[in-house]
Amino acid sequence: MLVKHTLLGGALAAVLSLSLSSPLAAQGAPQAKPEIVVKGIKGRVPTEVFGKRPMMRGPQISPDGTKIAVMMSRNGIDNLGIIDLTKPGSPPKFFARAEEFREAGDRTIGTWSWVGNRTVLFTVLSREIIFGQRSDLRRLVAYDLESGAITPLAWEGTTGDGGVILHRDHAKETILLQRSSFRNEQNEFRPEVISVDVRTGKFSTVQRPNVFVRSWVADGNGVIRAGVGNSDDGKVRLMYRANASEQFRTISNEKDATFTGTQVVPDIFTSDPNVAYATSNRDNYRRVYRIDLNTLQPIGKPIYEVPGHDVDDLIRDKSGSRLLGVRYTTNKPYVRWYDERLRAIQGFFDEDFGKGNAQLISANDDYTKLVMFIAKPSEPGTYYVYDTESGNLSVLGHFHPELKDADMNPTETIRYKASDGMEIPAVVTYPRHRPHRKNLPVIVMPHGGPFGVRDEEGFGFFPWHQAMAELGYVVIQPNYRGSGGYGREFVMEGRKPNGYGQRMQDDLNDALTWFGQTGLIDPKRACIMGWSYGGYATARGAQRDPGLWKCAIAGAGVYDFPMMKAFDQSTFGSFGASFQATADNLVAISSARNTDGPWSPILIVAGLRDARIPIEQSRTLVSRLKGSGKKEGVDFRYVEQPKGTHNLPYEDVHIEWLVEAERWAERFNPAFVPTDVDYARKPAVDPRFQTAAATAPAAM
């Protein structure tokens, strides 16, 4: 990434012209980003490198701005630790190894944050079998930086979830914690709210459970102001009170027939007890409103909206009572800041590094120390600490352990026309070694979900698009109908009876037609690859449209919907079961129920410990493929990962998935063939990465 100029002069003057009475006033503009680009990557980066765990993720700065809690990978294993900013160059101090929790009862670390300047809180997650059903358990743990003690918080008596922090008081070192509890007899699955001293672990009850409430909402002062509940038929109830002395009253109890989150829930309570900020898709696109809490109706016009797109969420200040900004996504994530100083700072970074390429990740109490993440969509990215008073911008650490700030395969968002005329946004990644961009092989990569989820430009936690583009393929990631971010009506198009497994599948096929007509790709050299719902869509494509796909690469998919609906019914209830496939005929859209006839050669990868999609789904598909005369190693390959879960938790598991995908694609749809104009220039592996390539799983 090149720096155009240092941010001085006019940019600095703009900051100094703001009101210095604001606690967010700055005195320095950010200096130019240090030159840390990995240069000279002339050859191909091996696929194994893209499977590496992030070197650094989720840095959270302490309220006083002197320390950072962060997850870092060491030899492929995640460790939670502390970086002391007052001691530049000192190594991080690690205090929790994520895999240790995973091995002890299948636990892992979820989120981490600060309370005061001495205590880091982190959640521990596990999936357990309770009364014959799989259940998610979450617990909260405190780490004391001074004593080194790790203390479970309010574990005694907690049932399912004990890890939702509603409010934190940094001065008193206390939190409001929502948890379900055995103490509540008939309401053990309804949450209570307790006040917890994070130093001692002592707690007291603040809010008893309510039979109608599944989650509570607190205001910036730590007062429980609202309760939200949902019933098995899809109704969402909102209970509200203006202050701590009032009783809760129901102000809404509506059914969300669209499964798109139409009900209004307050996000930020204002100084007016009857007014809050909230988002709503009442007019198709999700917009930001000031809401009258007596009627749940908007007060005036929307505060903010993005033409053709939904807003994502709201950003509140440290007190929890003021709207700082709005997050939204078009081709990639952006923020519209309402705070003048933060808006000016964002402008500095946008000017120097490109709009939206610098994101505020974390800030200290007075916003004088900011953790920024800077990356173009084609770069893994780097974390920086920006001192707003001195203007110093210093490197904290890279996201990727080997690629660092390397500028990889370019990415852009393109809208194409589906066969029924609907516009489908797609993220397209071009192979950097093939600049002619004509008649190239392609991999269509549908995202998971499927509803309400979307792909966007960016390197990402799982850079599969980059791995396959580096091999020489164009990668197309369609945001097919049903995807999120493009309004309620777009989601509903996928929820129509002919959506799941049919019209949504057509959107993937139509990408081949449209991009083939542009001359970018050769639609006769196409594979399909995906995980979760993407795995389902991949297998469905191999079964329904074998003439289109030279190969299919499916991971962690649902292949038998009647079987899956029975699992969801027992695990998530009728509402959760209905939330997924919406087709009238579940048998017809189930690839495992239709294994006779021609199929594209398919690679099937599944994790033995996948708690979301049971391993029986993949085993059933394999069994029925065999029963239909398909030959393993010829028509299909099955890879079962003993350590695998739905989220590919281990580096070796992730690498195995990508290497298997590379080999399957190369076998049936090689990226370079002798008739290609650039066949003689097929890049070899860059020598600096030979070690990574040598660690790949054994060949088939």
Q: Are 191 and 213 in contact (CB under 8 A)?
A: yes
Q: Are 557 and 657 in contact (CB under 8 A)?
A: no
Mind listing the pLDDT tens digit for each residue in 312-341? 999 999 888 999 999 999 999 999 999 999
d(CA 346, CA 513): 40
The token duo for 657 is: 């998935």
Alpha helix locations (H) across 51-97? none
Would you say residue 34 has pLDDT above 50? no
d(CA 216, CA 154): 18
Cα Rg of the chain, angstroms: 26
Instruction: Delimit the CATH 3.40.50.1820 region(s) of the chain.
Output: 411-669
pLDDT of residue 22: 32
d(CA 570, CA 40): 55
pLDDT of residue 40: 62
The token duo for 96 is: 């929790």
Mean pLDDT across the stretch 190-195? 95
Mean pLDDT across the stretch 490-506? 94
Mean pLDDT across the stretch 42-54? 94
Q: Are 332 and 458 in contact (CB under 8 A)?
A: yes
Provide φ and ψ at 592, rounded to 5°. Answer: -70, -15
Would you say residue 478 has pLDDT above 80? yes
Mind listing the pLDDT tens digit for each residue in 200-211? 999 999 999 998
* pLDDT above 90: percentage of residues in the chain: 76
pLDDT of residue 159: 84
d(CA 294, CA 106): 45
Asked whether the bond before 601 is cis by omega within 30 degrees of 0, the reply is: no
Would you say residue 64 has pLDDT above 80? yes
Q: Are 70 and 646 in contact (CB under 8 A)?
A: no
Mind listing the pLDDT tens digit for each residue in 85-112? 999 989 999 999 876 434 334 568 899 9
pLDDT of residue 5: 26
Mean pLDDT across the stretch 478-489? 97
User: Confidence band (pLDDT; 50, 70, 90) for 20?
Assistant: very low
Element (H, E) at 595: none
pLDDT of residue 10: 30
pLDDT of residue 152: 95
pLDDT of residue 492: 94
pLDDT of residue 19: 27
Would you say residue 395 has pLDDT above 60? yes
d(CA 541, CA 527): 10
The token duo for 536 is: 């389902």
Residues in the chain: 700
Would you say residue 113 has pLDDT above 90? yes
Mean pLDDT of the chain, nearest integer: 89
Residue 215, beta-bridge partner list: 228
| Cα dihedral sign, 242-243-247-253 | positive
The CA distances from residue 72 to 58, 161, 425, in Å, are 9, 26, 34
pLDDT of residue 108: 83
Mind listing the pLDDT tens digit for each residue in 645-698? 898 888 999 999 999 999 999 999 999 999 999 999 999 999 888 766 556 665
d(CA 178, CA 165): 6
Among the four given CATH numbers 3.40.50.2020, 3.40.50.720, 3.30.420.40, 3.40.50.1820, the one describing domain 411-669: 3.40.50.1820
Residues ≥6 apart with Cβ < 8 Å to 215: 164, 178, 191, 227, 228, 229
Q: Give 419 or 89, the one with higher predicted confidence.
A: 419
Mean pLDDT across the stretch 505-522? 98
Bridge-based pairing of strands 311-316 and 297-298 is unpaired
Mind listing the pLDDT tens digit for each residue in 459-470? 999 999 999 999
The token duo for 132 is: 């014959």
User: Confidence band (pLDDT; 50, 70, 90) for 415?
Assistant: very high
Across 232-236, 446-450, 571-575, 633-637, least confident range: 571-575
User: Confidence band (pLDDT; 50, 70, 90) for 6?
Assistant: very low
Residues ≥6 apart with Cβ < 8 Å to 538: 446, 528, 529, 530, 552, 553, 554, 557, 602
